């Protein structure tokens, strides 16, 4: 009988390392892994998150993941983690700097942090018997698509930021390492725009300082923390003039990581490296998202139209066919539920 059938029959789940696990997507993925019966070890340097997130994870799952405060760019730190936590079978790598604008100001920080983290993890995987790594990539690797919706065969365009370039280089590092004969597998997940928060209200997006992304700024404007949201341009070649994105609920996104890890550990993956676009397949404009929030919550978002933001892509949304039919994952959340969860999380943060 296949090992994975036995494991599932006896509910013997594996131990997974989640790097960047107190971050936005990392924390939501940790919840879904634990709900699926996995043991989780988190390593995070808390440079862009807070250890209190672990309390939120425990409130939701009833269990506390192992937490190691540490920097994945330090090889000895990672070696100690694997020695102290034997039996890790898979890694989900979220640990990375991810602000597009900041990456233009501090390129070396981004290349050092994002690439050294990945290289260290890949180097240690064979030494410690880690079978597979799920890599957190981004639709930013496609640049401005020639056509939408966009599938995994679309050309990779020249990166428009060091952040985007680190994602492209990381994918190439994984491909070259596997091609060299390294005894590991990888699934690369290219996210579109993650938004929302866990329906429990216990975890969500915790931007430090002024939010760069749309939804946290939107909810802070709705809460009166920011005077108003600026819509960066309404003169694009789109129906209402504002940019179009594929907004994916963070819990749907988290579930895709569990399915990807299962696929590798159960030997269901077809190739040593598989790449999937994770999106809903629906494009929404900025103004449509604002309307969806207002209709879902009954709360007005004070906003104005401002100039375009340099580097913004006009429109991009996913063709999720491969994720739906090969990975066996599909985005399910309704955008209004996602907006309500984002608002609930903002209100909970305001009370803290
Ligand atoms: C979305 C839309 C803005 C803020 C980036 C990265 C991507 C991923 C997600 C990490 C755009 C508009 C935004 C505001 C606005 N990062 N906007 N007013 O730029 O699509 O993607 O973040 O994984 O890799 O590239 O996301 O949320 O910044 O912007 O009008 O105050 O909202 O112009 O059209 P983006 P975003």
Q: What is the pLDDT of residues 172-205, one digit of tens each?
A: 999 999 999 999 999 999 999 999 999 999 999 9
Question: How many other CB atoms are there within 10 angstroms of residue 239's CB atom?
Answer: 11
Pocket test for ligand 1, best of 48, 193, 228, 316 (most atoms within 8 A of CB): 193
Ligand 1 centroid distance, CA of 217 (Å): 10
Indicate whether 1 pLDDT > 70: no
Ligand 1 centroid distance, CA of 100 (Å): 9
- Which residue in the list 128, 163, 177, 236 is annotated as catalytic? 163
Indicate whether 212 pLDDT > 70: yes
**DSSP string for 234-266:** S-SSSTTSS-EE-EEEHHHHHHHHHHHHHHHHT
For range 106-135, the mean pLDDT: 98
For range 83-108, the mean pLDDT: 95
What is residue 238's predicted lDDT score, i.e. its pLDDT? 98
Query: For the ranges 61-65, 157-161, 229-233, which has the lowest average pLDDT?
Result: 157-161
CA dihedral 272, 254, 205, 82 (to 10 degrees): -50
As a whole number, the mean pLDDT across the chain is 95
This prediction's pTM:
0.95
Ligand 1 centroid distance, CA of 228 (Å): 16
Q: What percent of the chain has pLDDT over 70?
A: 97
Atom 4, ligand 1: residue with shortest CA distance: 214
Pocket of ligand 1 (CB under 6 A): 98, 100, 138, 140, 191, 193, 212-214, 217, 229-232, 243, 245, 286, 309, 312
């Amino acid at each position: 009988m296949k090992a994975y059938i036995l494991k599932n029959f006896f509910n013997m789940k594996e131990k997974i390392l989640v790097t960047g696990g107190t971050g936005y997507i990392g924390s939501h993925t940790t919840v879904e892994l634990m709900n699926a019966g996995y043991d989780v070890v988190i390593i995070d340097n808390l440079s862009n998150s807070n250890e209190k997130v672990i309390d939120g994870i425990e409130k939701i799952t009833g269990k506390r993941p192992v937490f190691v405060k540490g920097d994945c760019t330090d090889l000895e730190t990672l070696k100690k983690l694997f020695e102290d936590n034997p039996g890790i079978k898979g890694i989900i790598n979220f640990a990375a700097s991810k602000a597009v604008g900041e990456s233009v100001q501090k390129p070396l920080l981004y290349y050092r942090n994002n690439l050294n983290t990945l290289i260290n993890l890949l180097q240690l995987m064979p030494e410690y018997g880690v079978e597979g790594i799920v890599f957190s990539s981004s639709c930013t690797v496609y640049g401005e698509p020639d056509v939408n919706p966009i599938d995994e065969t679309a050309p990779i365009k020249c990166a428009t930021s060091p952040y985007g370039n680190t994602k492209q280089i990381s994918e190439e590092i994984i491909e070259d390492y596997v091609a060299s004969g390294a005894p590991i597998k990888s699934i690369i997940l290219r996210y579109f725009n993650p938004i929302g928060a866990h329906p429990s209200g216990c975890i969500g997006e915790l931007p430090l300082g002024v939010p760069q992304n749309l939804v946290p700024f939107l909810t802070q404007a709705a809460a009166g923390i920011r005077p108003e949201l600026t819509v960066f341009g309404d003169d694009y070649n789109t129906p209402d003039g504002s940019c179009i994105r594929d907004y994916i609920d963070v819990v749907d996104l988290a579930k895709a990581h569990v399915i990807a890890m299962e696929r590798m550990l159960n030997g269901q993956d077809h190739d040593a490296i598989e790449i999937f676009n994770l999106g809903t397949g629906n494009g929404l404009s900025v103004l449509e998202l604002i309307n969806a929030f207002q209709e879902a919550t009954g709360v007005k978002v004070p906003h104005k139209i401002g100039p375009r933001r340099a580097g913004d892509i006009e429109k991009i949304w996913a063709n999720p066919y491969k994720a739906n039919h090969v990975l066996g994952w599909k985005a399910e959340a309704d955008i209004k539920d996602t907006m309500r969860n984002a608002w609930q999380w903002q209100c909970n943060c305001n009370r803290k």
